Structure 1
Amino acid sequence: MVQTVSLSFFRFPKGFARVWAFTQMGFARWPMSRLPDVGFWKLCGSGVGEGFTPRPNWSVYAILATWPDLETAERLTAEAPVFRRYHDHAGEALSVFLTTTSVRGRGSGREPFEVTEAPRPGPVAALTRATIRPSKALQFWAAGPDISDVIGADPNVRFKIGIGEVPWFRQVTFSIWPDTSTMAAFARGNGPHGRAIRAVREGDWFSEELYARFRVRSVRGTWEGRNPVADLEIAA
């Protein structure tokens, strides 16, 4: 079996559905913990923008989880009661299924993702998860919106979103790119992202950080009316 990581995003219409979604940040914890075969998991809200942003987006929520294999991930994110309730209340949903090609750091004191294969041609995803030191929060958020704007303006990125477990202090960015070269060109450039990475190292902004890269195995659903990798070839 090969560990599969799922990231499921849900967009909720105005009114009761958004109130319901907000309450699930607490109420969905018990049913998630009881799911068979689920490993590491997190319930997340989202921010307005393309990456780390301080303003919450009350319409979008996400579930990050690990599973023993792709078939289990695809089945339970569609059929498990807790996921089914999210789908029933949401106006739009997108689930991305991934296998890990590289990982550095820890999340919640553990190593949640298992590296199971080497990078290969095709769409790739990047996830950054960071716990911001309270004493460094103002410095971090001074740089975050610049990075968000640059990610959104990059013509190569196919999907990008900022989500978080704890508002303002425990944040996640997730993005999908056509291939490793376009992703690396953004990450390693001398723009706001590169400068922010240097500031993190020099200023010790994070108490915990995790950086992971993934092969995109499959995508189900749409976001803003489209499948973000529909025109890209996903290797079997």
Structure 2
Amino acid sequence: MKGSRAIQTVSLSLFRFHGLANRVWAFTQMGLARPALARTPDIGFWKLCGSGTGEGFTPVPNTAVYAVLATWPDLATARSRTETAAVFARHARRAAENWHLFLTPTSARGQWSGHTPFAPVTEGGHASEPIAALTRATIRPAVAARFWRRVPDISTVIGADPSVLFKIGIGEVPLLHQVTFSIWPDAASMARFARADGPHARAIRAVREGAWFSEELYARFRVQDTRGSWGGTDPMKTRKDAA
């Protein structure tokens, strides 16, 4: 429509691999897939990520789970490219399952590899809608051990929160680059978790007081759409069915 503008869509594509051959293949793609991903039509900012064991919130690599985060000019392009573009199609053929989230940035501050990748919008959305939170940090090597000692406690608290719909930890470089991603039923439930005194709040204070991060980015998103499954179901559609 004349006068309308495209709204950036961020995709987070998760892939789970079974079997040694598929896991080895997925690991090699962390390097080999980079040129093809960079040549993908319409792609903007992108990152190939591995994960940690458990739900990703550990420094021990999980050779079964990998992720691709990318920005696109609009939702239709994101849906199409994450299904048909070479890198995504090859991962999907090898993976036991895959889940794609399509997100609209609503706020962002900080940088990722020297870039400001997300273009937030303020229009639309409701306070009662699900909200996704992403935190990305480059951890200073001198404090990496202290940071990772705190992470299991934070993960336990998030997992015990009945409100959290989904959570995962991913990263570009083990130990030094960490991305946490979580989905909450609404802004209020996420805010309650962030304000509550506990491992998460204490870790945030330690980060601020000790300057643990050399680079950090915090972003919030609306969940526009999903495709595929994770753990045999679509966590967002399961929520809708239960509502």
Structure 2 length-normalised TM: 0.93
Q: Deviations over 1:89-114 (max 9, x none)?
A: 00010000000111111101111001
SS at match of 1:166: coil
1:168 paired residue number:
175
Q: Distance in 1 between matches of 2:73 and 2:192?
A: 32
- The counterpart of 2:237, out of the listed 221, 230, 234, is 230
SS at match of 1:229: helix
1:72 aligns with 2:77: yes
- The counterpart of 1:218, out of the listed 208, 212, 225, is 225
- The counterpart of 1:201, out of the listed 182, 203, 208, is 208
1:156 aligns with 2:146: no
Q: Distance in 2 between matches of 1:188 and 1:70?
A: 33
1:44 aligns with 2:49: yes
2:93 paired residue number:
88
Task: Give the AA of the match of 2:81.
Answer: L
C-alpha displacement at 1:49, in angstroms?
A: 3.0
Answer yes or no: is the 8 Å Cα contact 2:154–2:199 preserved in 1.
Answer: yes
Q: Deviations over 1:59-88 (max 9, x none)?
A: 000000000000000000001111000000
Size of the aligned set, in residue pairs, is 233
Answer yes or no: is the 8 Å Cα contact 1:54–1:141 preserved in 2.
Answer: yes
Answer yes or no: is the 8 Å Cα contact 2:111–2:217 preserved in 1.
Answer: yes
Q: Equivalent pairs: percent with the same residue?
A: 63
- The counterpart of 2:134, out of the listed 127, 140, 144, is 127
Q: Deviations over 1:167-206 (max 9, x none)?
A: 0001101111111111111122101111111110001000
Q: Which range moves more in the overlay, 118-127 or 206-215? A: 118-127
C-alpha displacement at 1:231, in angstroms?
A: 4.6
Q: Distance in 1 between matches of 2:215 and 2:119?
A: 18
1:19 aligns with 2:24: yes
Structure 1: tracts of 5 or more residues without a match: none
Q: Distance in 1 between matches of 2:163 and 2:70?
A: 26
Q: Deviations over 1:11-67 (max 9, x none)?
A: 000221101000000010000010111000000000113453211111000000000
Measured on the aligned residues, the alpha-carbon RMSD in Å equals 1.2
Answer yes or no: is the 8 Å Cα contact 1:128–1:210 preserved in 2.
Answer: yes
Q: Distance in 2 between matches of 1:50 and 1:136?
A: 23
SS at match of 1:59: strand
Q: Distance in 1 between matches of 2:57 and 2:135?
A: 10
1:99 paired residue number:
104
Q: Which range moves more in the overlay, 182-191 or 15-24? A: 182-191
